[in-house]
């Protein structure tokens, strides 16, 4: 097993302003590709471009979709134009395209996340769309340099922070699924990865802040990084993604309204815990404390869609979870949906 430690991991306020110093300290020179999208470029692009300009040549590339094709196109560009560094500024989609492209092209990936909405920002996995519309988790490498700018995180809509909470607490269900798969001889346990994933959600559950402040952002960033490291140990998303993620993938594929990944897996977590008869109040109370509203009605998920996606979840990916074993009826799922409307 090979563990690659990032060269640089900074979690601090106005961290993005230190990009030049960090790259300089790491002897970065040559050609840079700055990858982002127009809105983020408007907000934070100048700060990045100003610093890259001082280091050498840079080119700007906008990404509008997170597909395997897009990542391959970007990889070709990195290779053909002999670009040494891909600097990704954005959320999961931009970072995943950039992460996979850099991995294929064997170039250095610098990650500048603008949200903490999911645990992909510090993971060695890229989740990319295939031509058939379904998503695939592809193993690659963590960014060599990650700068989590807490000022930017506090600047973004609180809904994104709430999604990050959802994706982190989903580890709780993911670990139950993983253990269940191992107990049934369908998977192997990795104790280090298990511990890191557990530590990720437990440290978040112990957060002391009453509201989203810098302290809270640091705890959440820490949790997300621990989740990323858990994935690094297994080379897969297994420690942080179980049946609740399969449900979310089904929603992405069959659902009518797109919602934030973190909120969908949060809903999946509570729904699955109910389905297997596990206590979910610890998680639910935390969601309530920070106003993580995952009521299916609010997310525009109808009863029919909920039932369909719970039924289809098992088909979304080859991952053994409770869904492979438990028998549940349509009536049972409808009852859970009604309860969720009441409780969430
Ligand atoms: Zn996730």
Q: Give the residue from 35, 31, 13, 12 showing the smallest Cα distance to 23.
A: 31
What is the 8 CA–ligand 1 centroid distance (Å)?
Answer: 23
Mean pLDDT computed over 64-79? 96
Distance (Å) from CA 169 to ligand 1 centroid: 10
- As a whole-number percent, the residues of the chain with pLDDT over 70 amount to 98
- pTM comes to 0.92
Residues 239-272 have pLDDT tens digits of: 999 999 999 999 999 999 999 999 999 999 999 9
The model's pLDDT over 94-113, given as tens digits with 9 standing for 90+, comes to: 999 999 999 999 999 999 99
Above 70 in pLDDT, residue 67? yes
Mean pLDDT score of the chain, rounded to an integer? Answer: 94
Averaged pLDDT, 282-293: 97
Handedness of CA 288, 290, 294, 300 (dihedral sign): positive
What is the structure's pLDDT at 2?
Answer: 42
Q: Would the pLDDT of 6 be above 60?
A: no
**What residue ranges do the domains of the chain occupy?**
8-155, 158-343
pLDDT digits (tens, 9 = 90+) for 147-181: 999 999 999 899 999 999 999 999 999 999 999 99
Whether the domain at 8-155 and the domain at 158-343 fall into the same CATH topology:
no
Give 167 Cα–ligand 1 centroid separation in angstroms.
Answer: 5
Listed residues: CB within 5 A of ion ligand 1:
167
Judge whether residue 4 has pLDDT over 50. no
pLDDT over threshold 90, residue 133: no
How confident is the model over 73-85, as a mean pLDDT?
96
How large is the average pLDDT for residues 64-89? 96
The CATH T-level fold of domain 8-155 is: Rossmann fold (3.40.50)
For residue 235, what are the CA distances in angstroms to 1, 56, 170, 230, 239?
9, 34, 18, 9, 10
Q: For strand 145-149 and strand 108-113, is the pairing parallel, antiparallel, or unpaired?
A: parallel
Q: How far does the centroid of ligand 1 lie from the alpha carbon of residue 245, in Å?
A: 6
The CA 265 to ligand 1 mean position distance, Å, reads 7
Which CATH code of 3.40.50.450, 3.30.70.2740, 1.10.10.10, 1.20.1090.10 fits the domain covering 158-343?
1.20.1090.10
Q: What is the mean pLDDT of residues 126-151?
A: 92
pLDDT at 315: 94
């Amino acid at each position: 097993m090979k563990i690659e430690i990032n060269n640089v991991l900074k979690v601090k306020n106005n961290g993005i302003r230190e990009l030049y110093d960090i790259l300089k300290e790491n002897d970065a020179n040559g050609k840079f590709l700055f990858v982002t999208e127009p809105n983020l470029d408007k907000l934070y692009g100048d700060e990045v471009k100003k610093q890259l300009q001082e280091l050498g040549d840079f080119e700007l590339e906008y990404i509008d979709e997170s597909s395997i094709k897009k990542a391959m196109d970007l990889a070709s560009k990195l290779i053909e134009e002999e670009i040494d560094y891909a600097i990704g500024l954005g959320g999961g989609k931009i970072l995943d395209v950039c992460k996979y492209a850099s991995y294929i092209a064997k170039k250095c990936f610098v990650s500048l996340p603008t949200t903490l909405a999911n645990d992909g920002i510090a993971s060695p996995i890229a989740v990319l769309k295939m031509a058939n519309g379904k998503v695939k988790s592809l193993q690659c490498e963590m960014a060599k340099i990650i700068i989590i700018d807490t000022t930017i995180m506090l600047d973004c809509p609180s809904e994104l922070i709430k999604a990050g909470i959802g994706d982190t607490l989903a580890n709780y269900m993911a670990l139950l699924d993983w253990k269940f798969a191992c107990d049934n001889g369908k998977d192997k346990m990795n104790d280090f990865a298990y511990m890191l994933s557990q530590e990720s959600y437990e440290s978040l559950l112990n957060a002391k802040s009453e509201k989203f402040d810098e302290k809270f952002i640091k705890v959440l960033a820490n949790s997300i990084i621990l989740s990323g490291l858990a994935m690094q140990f297994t080379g897969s998303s297994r420690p942080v993604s179980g049946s609740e993620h399969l449900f979310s993938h089904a929603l992405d594929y069959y659902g009518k309204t797109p919602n934030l990944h973190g909120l969908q897996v949060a809903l999946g977590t509570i729904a699955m815990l109910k389905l297997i008869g596990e206590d979910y109040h610890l998680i639910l109370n935390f969601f309530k404390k920070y106003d993580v509203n995952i009521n299916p009605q609010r997310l525009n998920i109808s009863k029919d869609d909920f039932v369909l996606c719970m039924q289809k979840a098992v088909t979304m990916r080859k991952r053994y979870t409770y869904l492979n074993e438990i028998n549940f009826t349509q009536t049972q799922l409808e009852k859970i949906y009604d309860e969720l409307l009441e409780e969430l």
